[in-house]
Amino acid sequence: MHRCVHHRHELPVIFSTYFEEKQFIHHHDTRHKHNFYTHFVQTEFGKKSIKYKGCKLWNNLPDDIKAISSCHFF
């Protein structure tokens, strides 16, 4: 998730559109526009996927930790 935010160019092409930020979904400013959109899942298997769990974990981090762009310090 950190690389998706700060180093997107280092990720494989498949991940370029894998995660969606809320700012690209809504057409107006929201309080959490820099968080990732968490897709609705119905199964326990779906809740274990990186697309769901990665977004949930990243969105729960404090903003000062999310702002660290260095992989070493993160």
Taking only the tens of pLDDT, the chain with its 74 residues reads 777 777 777 878 777 676 666 545 556 566 555 677 677 788 888 788 878 888 888 888 898 888 888 877 77
| pLDDT at position 15 | 74
3-state secondary structure of 29: coil
| pLDDT at position 21 | 62
pTM, 2 dp:
0.58
| pLDDT at position 40 | 76
Tokens of 35: 């968080």
| pLDDT at position 27 | 63
